[in-house]
Structure 1
Amino acid sequence: MIDDSHDIRTTQAAAASPQAGATALEAAPKAAPRPKPEVKAEPKNETKTETKTETKSEAKAETKSEAKPDAKIEAKPDTRPSSADASGTVAEQGPEIAAPDAGTDSHEKPGKAKGSRRTKSAGSGATKSAKVAEKAANAAIEARIGHRFADPSLLSTAFTHVSALKSSKKRGDSYQRLEFLGDHVLGLIVSDMLYRSFPSADEGELSKRLADLVRKESCADVAKSLGLLDDIKLGAVGAGAGARLRKSVLGDVCEAVIGAIFLDGGYTAASGFVERNWTERMHKPRRPLRDPKTVLQEWAQGKGLPTPVYREVERTGPHHDPQFRVAVDLPGLEPAEGVGGSKRAAEKVAASVMIEREGVSGGSNDG
């Protein structure tokens, strides 16, 4: 129920006094509307305030809630790369996570890197020094034999004994194949030299001369005169065994050198080497042209002595390259000894020693 007592009183007062009523009437309308805007305005203001406050607080809360997770997500890969990596971070973040590890390794490995560099540089320096030394040694050999190799590996192979090869390498990497080739090249060149130098000699005489000039002892003499003994590459053998082995294979190495020259420079180069080192020997043979065992036996029979007896004194060297020392005996004479790669070769050397010592005539032909 609405209380209108105040309006009634005002109307009555206006009727009693016109001036006072007018004043009261003027005051009444002005005072009346005040409660209305106050009642109506309060809810609106509160609503707006609450709306604004809620909107702002929600906006701030949402902004903070959105900003904080983003910041945390972005900060985690930078501050904790290990946890990010373990939780399966996306592939795009992989390089960013790996970057600190690379940096850490770069700080931890400089010493190792420097050490490896020093080791590599030392190894390369030693390799270069070895190559320089080998090149100088090859140049000295080339100067002595009178041929400069276009393929230095041929020269190196010609001086490599099978004992110097590693287990992984084949025997063909030693001088043996070159020796086989050089033996036949030498025979061809010397045959040509004999044919041109002795036009009146028959086939028998030429064959005897050829046999003497191409024998292992003749080749060993040539190699010794060129100073090739110490250039032979051997494996792990004792000093004494190495010296004996070098002497025994010296003729083989000489033939291998001829084969290497033939492969490197052809027939002309090989012929030049043989002519320089065999021409003098061809015109002045130093050993009997006939087999020394035959010469000694004929001489012994002429003296009324029995047939010479040959006996093995010693066998040395590895199984694949043995060395035999053989002595020859005749009654009333001191034994003579010879060394060779086979029993027959050693017997020939022993017979030659006895022939030279006893001054047997008719064993040589100066032709």
Structure 2
Amino acid sequence: MGVRRALEPDRGRLLSGLDLDAWLAATLGAAPRDRARFVRALTHGSQSGDNYERLEFLGDRVLGLTIADWLYERFPNEPEGALSKRLNALVTGAACADVARALGVVPHLKLGKQARDDGAADSDNVLGDVMEALIGALYLDAGFGAARDFVRGLWADRIDHQGKAPQHPKSALQEWAAAKGRRPPEYAILDRSGPHHAPRFTVKVSIGKLAEATGEGASKQEAETAAAVALLAEVAG
């Protein structure tokens, strides 16, 4: 099955109102060989035990390999550390969720009533996992080449606009503390709330008794990053 360049975001939103078969054909460039596999990729655990989790596991690895290979090709003079920073920024759950929204995934999600009422359709955790599950489904349906082309079409603008390798806020905060002769940052979870599919974490980060800040996010990692951003603004801004 040939896969055309991924839909532009606006076109993806226009097609999101179509039925699933039309949306899949437009998104993938052709009807999938195994439709059920893509239905599974769009199905949350609150709807069925036959859900996206295994496909998400596979798609996560396909996405990581595709982006890593692409970065190795695009930035031949960058060291491993810079490539890792780029990779980490491009494959976050939030980045995958943004791609899923632009592609028009949301109307086709299969959620249980409680999960839908709890806002799972707009959860970065859920949408990020579904995006990876769709990549995994395409890998099984049409092979690695098709999955790679699909990812490259969807992530092209993100790589083109990335510019300098981004410094992760947690790394930046740790480097700032080391440069100032301070203790390494310490992170602690203050609160976890919300349902399983859409949790909210509150995390505190502190550098000894010098300063502290809190951050919130849909995952522990996201909350730690938000806290690091807040503390960096306070001590290094």
Category of TM-score, reference length = shorter chain: 0.7 to 0.9
Pick one of 90, 100, 106 that aligns with 1:213: 90
Tell me which amino acid in the other structure corresponds to 1:326: T
Alignment-derived partner of residue 58 in structure 2: 181
Alignment-derived partner of residue 325 in structure 1: 201
1:155 paired to 2:38: yes
**Counterpart contact for 2:190–2:202, Cα < 8 Å:** yes
1:289 paired to 2:166: yes
TM-score (norm 2): 0.74
Tell me which amino acid in the other structure corresponds to 2:160: H
Tell me which amino acid in the other structure corresponds to 1:314: R
1:160 Cα offset (Å): 0.4
Distance 1:332 1:229, change over 3 A: farther
CA distance in 1, matches of 2:169, 2:29: 33
User: Once the two structures are superposed, what CA deviation does each residue of 1:19-75 show, in whole Å capped at 9, x if it has no partner?
Assistant: xxxxxxxxxxxxxxxxxxxxxxxxxxxxxxxxxxxxxxxxxxxxxxxxxxxxxxxxx
Alignment-derived partner of residue 138 in structure 1: 21
TM-score (norm 1): 0.50
Distance 1:135 1:234, change over 3 A: same
Distance 1:161 1:315, change over 3 A: same
1:143 Cα offset (Å): 1.9
User: Once the two structures are superposed, what CA deviation does each residue of 1:198-246 show, in whole Å capped at 9, x if it has no partner?
Assistant: 1222233223322222222221221122122332211131655134773
1:162 Cα offset (Å): 0.9
**Counterpart contact for 2:169–2:225, Cα < 8 Å:** yes
2:193 match: secondary structure: strand
Distance 1:309 1:135, change over 3 A: closer
1:340 paired to 2:223: no
Higher relative contact order, chain-length normalized (CA < 8 Å, sep 6+):
2
Q: How many residues align?
A: 218
Superposition CA RMSD, Å: 3.5
Tell me which amino acid in the other structure corresponds to 1:153: A
2:215 match: secondary structure: strand
1:313 paired to 2:185: no
**Counterpart contact for 1:147–1:261, Cα < 8 Å:** no
CA distance in 2, matches of 1:236, 1:153: 21
User: Once the two structures are superposed, what CA deviation does each residue of 1:99-118 show, in whole Å capped at 9, x if it has no partner?
Assistant: xxxxxxxxxxxxxxxxxxxx
Pick one of 132, 141, 145 that aligns with 1:268: 145
**Counterpart contact for 1:297–1:308, Cα < 8 Å:** no
> Which structure's residues are more often strand, by fraction?
2
1:345 Cα offset (Å): 3.8
CA distance in 2, matches of 1:156, 1:137: 9
CA distance in 1, matches of 2:24, 2:71: 28
